[in-house]
Amino acid sequence: MRALTVVGPSNSGKSTLIAALSTLDGGQGTTLATTGGTSVTTFSFMGDDWALFDVPGGPETAPQIGPALAASDAALLCLPAEADAAVLCAPYLQILEASGVPSFVFVNGMDQASDRVSDIIAALQPYCAHGIVLRQVPLRDGETITGAVDLISERAWQYREGERSKLVELPPAMQARETAARTELLESLADFDDHLLEEIIEDQRPPTDELYDVATRAVQHHDLLPVLLGSAKHGNGLTRLMKTLRHEVPQVDALRARLGLGDDVVAAGCLADTLKHIGKAVLVRALSDGVAPGNRLAGDGIGGLVGLDARTQLAGLAPGQVGLAIKSDHLALGTLMGAEDAEPLPDWAAPHPPALKRVVTPVNERDENKLPGALARLAETDPGLTVSQTAGSGNLVIGVHGPQHERRIVGALADTFGIAVTCNAAPPSLRETIRRSVEIHHRHRKQSGGAGQFADVVLELSPAAPGEGFAFAETVKGGAVPRNYIPAVEAGVREALAEGPAGHPVVDVRAVLKDGKAHSVDSSDFAFRTAGRNAAREALQEAGTHVLQPILRVQIHAPGCFSGDVVQIVSGLKGQLQGIENHPELTGWDVVNALLPMGAEEPLTQALGSSARGTAWVGSALDHYEPVR
């Protein structure tokens, strides 16, 4: 069995294409759809078994591409026949380039093409470091596309509604266009084969079989991306596409070599979901022998293996095959598994940071203890979901990739775990700092029978430089405060700074213990910690504090054509532009560096979603705090 991941922007016809491919040989494919939207369809074509992963378009489902692609032998980029749609393919070309997976391009909807194929490819090429070459050109009757011409075999195929295409003579009017396109294809292939280059230089006509072999090697080495044409809705060009995949997609051994896997890795986790009456199920693809019920995988035994229908029991998986591992909660999505351990996928398969952060609160108090475990279970099957807790309040915070992703998580909590929740935007983590220096003399004295409590301190609090944090020193003379009590004073000051007058942690403060007194009987660590805490609180109240907002250093990754819009968005959100540079790794992409208040992070994501058409993503890190204006 060979596996293929189909990616592309929304409304490019990926699902229609996969459904049509799965029935080409007259059979019916078997499909497993997950709650995350990704599905896998298995079928046979000309005696070969296939598994096609369908990842929905858009940034909210993009995290699911990595695990599927890491377990695939090749990828198919599906795009509509419009030049304007090329930029929407930029994020998909990005991960295909990084992964090194053999890739194909299918221009869908050729029956309604609004642009010339050459213009579509010219718009796509700036976002791909490797050459994108036409393997077919459209056959036209006036302005109507009626078929396609294969540039290697030079055979023309006429589309027929709902039927396989018909072999026809190449029209004389098409010969010049076909010759020019074929010459361009051969010159591209010759860059990767010296013998072909010699034949072209000597004006020899290369044999067709030789050209197919050179084309296959170029694809499998990820040197070129071939472009094929058709219409999934009308069944046009699909047989030629499937035959090309059958001839040129490598076997599973090539995947192992591409990922540099050792002999100990036997399977990859491609998809995961929680199925009714079954529980957690992980779709695994066997990369070598040994994947069977009862055998050890990732450190424990496989509870069971079933087909995509979740009912058919499987005795084991041959290399390349896929199956659902059930009763195996220890297995994880997005890992490469050996018998005794599992390792993460390569870095290119990791999702971008979540676009939104939400505080999740159960509607019913009785669900407070169940919610953390339920979210952890969902995170095991959703590579785009992150779960964390706020440092101060301990509230649960989820990171999601958009409002639809958020709704899926809320729905899964209700349907699968019976937990109703509300989600609210995570507030920015504000801080405080002292306005001016102040010196406080505080005496803590308490007598309630038995040993009393006594501690006397003179404490000075003053502003520190931004980003300096907290510093403590002492200038006590003559042993007025015994040295063994000084750490207790510092501990008390730190307790006071945990929450300032405005209710936020206090940062960038220097504390100096200048003087004090102790009692030989009633003094203790507890008494001096209490005195330090109370003195610091009095100092903060007397001096007052500034409320500080976090300022993020953001890197906005976007196709270069959107950089101007990104700059305007940053300026409109009171951000400070730091510069624009070409992306060091991605062709056709820019990186916009800026400083931005944390509170503007979500509006930035929302604005980018519309202006950059869902192609941009943001990385951020705390840079500093500054007073709220």
* CATH code, domain carrying 397: 3.30.70.870
Quick one: average pLDDT of 533-562? Answer: 94
Query: What average pLDDT does the structure give for the chain?
Result: 92
Q: Which of 115, 116, 92, 114 is nearest to 105 (CA)?
A: 92
Q: What is the pLDDT of residue 392?
A: 65
Residue 362 pLDDT more than 80?
yes
**Three-state SS for 201?**
helix
In angstroms, the CA 282 to CA 119 distance is 42
Looking at the fold, whether 133 and 275 belong to one and the same domain comes out as: no
Looking at the fold, whether 480 and 411 belong to one and the same domain comes out as: no
Looking at the fold, whether 93 and 218 belong to one and the same domain comes out as: yes
Which tens digits make up the pLDDT trace of 569-614? 999 998 999 999 999 888 899 999 999 998 899 999 999 998 999 9
3-state helix/strand/coil string of 129-175: CCEEEECEEEEEECCEEEEEEECCCCCEEEEECCEEEEEECCCHHHH
| Number of domains forming the structure of the chain | 5
SS3 content of the chain, % helix, strand, coil (to 5): 30, 35, 35
In angstroms, the CA 472 to CA 516 distance is 16
Residue 466 pLDDT more than 90?
no
Q: How far is CA 505 from the centre of its chain?
A: 32
Q: Which two tokens stand for residue 457?
A: 């301190």
Looking at the fold, whether 95 and 219 belong to one and the same domain comes out as: yes
Q: How far is CA 580 from the centre of its chain?
A: 23
Residue 166 domain flag: yes
> Which of the 8 DSSP states describes residue 394?
-
Residue 450 pLDDT more than 80?
no
Residue 543 pLDDT more than 90?
yes
Residue 390 pLDDT more than 90?
no
Q: Which two tokens stand for residue 84?
A: 């304007």
| Torsions phi, psi for 452 (to 5 deg) | -95, -170
Which tens digits make up the pLDDT trace of 86-99? 999 999 999 999 99
Q: Which of 473, 349, 343 is nearest to 101 (CA)?
A: 349
Half-sphere exposure of 466 (CA within 13 A, CB side): 12
pLDDT band with cut points at 50, 70 and 90 for residue 274: confident
Residue 257 domain flag: no
Q: What is the pLDDT of residue 165?
A: 85
Looking at the fold, whether 6 and 119 belong to one and the same domain comes out as: yes
Looking at the fold, whether 98 and 211 belong to one and the same domain comes out as: yes
Encoded amino acid at 615, one letter: T
Q: What is the pLDDT of residue 28?
A: 87
Residue 553 pLDDT more than 90?
yes
Q: Which two tokens stand for residue 320?
A: 């390349």
Half-sphere exposure of 269 (CA within 13 A, CB side): 30
- Tell me which of 372, 395, 425 is where a domain ends: 425
**Three-state SS for 509?**
strand
pTM: 0.88
Residue 415 domain flag: yes
Specify the CATH number for the domain of residue 556: 3.30.70.240
Specify the CATH number for the domain of residue 496: 3.30.230.10
Quick one: average pLDDT of 23-39? Answer: 89
Residue 431 domain flag: no
Residue 130 domain flag: yes
Judge whether 413 and 358 are in contact, CB under 8 Å: no
Looking at the fold, whether 242 and 271 belong to one and the same domain comes out as: no
Q: How far is CA 439 from the centre of its chain?
A: 51
Looking at the fold, whether 48 and 104 belong to one and the same domain comes out as: yes
Cα separations in angstroms, 538 against 434, 440, 458, 496, 599: 12, 7, 12, 10, 31
Q: What is the pLDDT of residue 55?
A: 95
In angstroms, the CA 459 to CA 437 distance is 11
pLDDT band with cut points at 50, 70 and 90 for residue 447: confident
In angstroms, the CA 237 to CA 245 distance is 13
Q: What is the pLDDT of residue 35?
A: 84
- Tell me which of 250, 279, 306 is where a domain ends: 250
| Torsions phi, psi for 268 (to 5 deg) | -130, 140
> Which of the 8 DSSP states describes residue 174?
G
In angstroms, the CA 629 to CA 246 distance is 63
- Name the residue range of residue 71's domain: 2-250
Residue 16 domain flag: yes
Quick one: average pLDDT of 315-323? Answer: 95
Q: Check the CA dihedral 291-292-296-298 and report its sign.
A: positive
Angular region, 526: left φ>0, alpha ψ -120 to 50, beta rest = alpha
Q: Check the CA dihedral 369-371-372-377 and report its sign.
A: positive
Residue 602 domain flag: yes
Q: What is the pLDDT of residue 428?
A: 82
Looking at the fold, whether 177 and 286 belong to one and the same domain comes out as: no
Angular region, 39: left φ>0, alpha ψ -120 to 50, beta rest = beta
Q: What is the pLDDT of residue 521?
A: 85
pLDDT band with cut points at 50, 70 and 90 for residue 65: very high
Quick one: average pLDDT of 248-266? Answer: 93
Looking at the fold, whether 229 and 119 belong to one and the same domain comes out as: yes
- Tell me which of 495, 512, 543 is where a domain ends: 543
Q: What is the pLDDT of residue 559?
A: 95
| Torsions phi, psi for 293 (to 5 deg) | -55, 135
Q: Which residues of 472-496 are buried (b: 16+ CB within 10 A; e: fewer)?
A: bebebeeeebeeebbebbbebbbbb
Q: Which residues of 111-147 are buried (b: 16+ CB within 10 A; e: fewer)?
A: bebebebbebbebbbbbbebbbbbbbbbbeeeeebbb
Which tens digits make up the pLDDT trace of 399-423? 999 999 999 999 999 988 999 999 9
Quick one: average pLDDT of 536-541? Answer: 96
Looking at the fold, whether 361 and 342 belong to one and the same domain comes out as: no
Q: Which of 216, 185, 227 is nearest to 77 (CA)?
A: 227
Residue 15 pLDDT more than 70?
yes
Which tens digits make up the pLDDT trace of 122-171? 999 999 999 999 999 999 887 788 899 999 999 999 988 877 888 999 88
Looking at the fold, whether 410 and 449 belong to one and the same domain comes out as: no
Q: Which residues contact 296 (CB under 8 A, 6 or more apart)?
A: 302, 339, 340
Specify the CATH number for the domain of residue 49: 3.40.50.300
Q: What is the pLDDT of residue 572?
A: 92
Residue 273 domain flag: yes
Name the residue with tokens 């642009």: 115
pLDDT band with cut points at 50, 70 and 90 for residue 439: very high
Q: What is the largest CA-CA distance in the chain?
A: 112
In angstroms, the CA 240 to CA 228 distance is 8
Residue 491 pLDDT more than 90?
yes
Judge whether 274 and 381 are in contact, CB under 8 Å: yes
161 burial (CB, 10 Å; 0-12 / 13-18 / 19+) is exposed
Quick one: average pLDDT of 99-122? Answer: 92
pLDDT band with cut points at 50, 70 and 90 for residue 552: very high
